[in-house]
């Protein structure tokens, strides 16, 4: 999932049995750039600061080359700070709570519920998630890479 302070740019649903490789992720970055041009045309002439975790596919030669080709400035993710992805500490816990009481028979039902959930969030909620990164970053530094206490 790719998002910014205004909302979701796009969600790529991984097919069952598919592995995220450097090539797969590099292709996602191309799609992301297309979505940024489509949904945020005002950003085309601005520098894109991009944050990702240290997953092997994200740090692969192909993915790093794609980020360079797209001229994205990579916000480094310290190697021992797993708590820094706003999706992981801000968006996904709330999504899990929303989905916890529901039961789905088909993948499309799950996808519709997820997309409906994110569509109902306000721009302020997305902005707050991005802004929370600074506090998380400072906690990570002060804890020297240990896990930051989970927010409730």
Q: What is the pLDDT of residues 50-88, one digit of tens each?
A: 999 888 999 999 999 999 999 999 988 777 666 688 898
Q: Which residues of the chain have pLDDT under 50?
A: 151-152
Q: Which of 118, 119, 115, 55 is nearest to 90 (CA)?
A: 118
Residue whose tokens read 């088909």: 106
Domains, the chain, with CATH or none: 1-77 (no CATH), 78-152 (3.30.420.10)
pLDDT at 78: 74
User: What interhelical angle do 107-120 and 92-100 show, nearest 10?
Assistant: 120
**Residues in Cβ contact with 2 at an 8 Å cutoff, skipping those fewer than 6 apart:** 8, 9, 10, 11, 28, 32, 35
Mapping DSSP to helix (H, G, I), strand (E, B) and coil, where does residue 48 land? strand
Kindly state the tokens that stand for 42: 């005002």
**Which helix H or strand E contains 124, and what residues bound it?**
helix 123-142
48 beta partners:
72
Is the overall model pTM greater than 0.95, yes or no?
no
pLDDT at 25: 97
């Amino acid at each position: 999932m790719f998002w910014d302070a205004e909302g979701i740019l796009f969600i790529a649903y991984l097919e069952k049995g598919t592995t995220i490789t450097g090539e797969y992720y590099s292709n996602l970055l191309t799609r992301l750039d297309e979505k940024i041009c489509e949904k945020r045309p005002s950003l085309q002439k601005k520098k894109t600061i991009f944050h990702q975790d240290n997953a092997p596919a994200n740090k692969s030669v192909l993915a790093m080359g794609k980020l360079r080709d797209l001229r994205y400035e990579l916000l480094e993710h310290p190697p021992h700070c797993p708590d820094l992805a706003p999706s992981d500490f801000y968006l996904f816990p709330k999504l899990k709570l929303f989905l916890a009481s529901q039961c789905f028979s088909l993948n499309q039902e799950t996808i519709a519920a997820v997309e409906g959930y994110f569509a109902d969030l306000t721009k302020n909620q997305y902005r707050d998630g991005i802004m929370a990164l600074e506090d998380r970053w400072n906690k990570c530094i002060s804890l020297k890479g240990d896990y930051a206490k989970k927010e409730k």
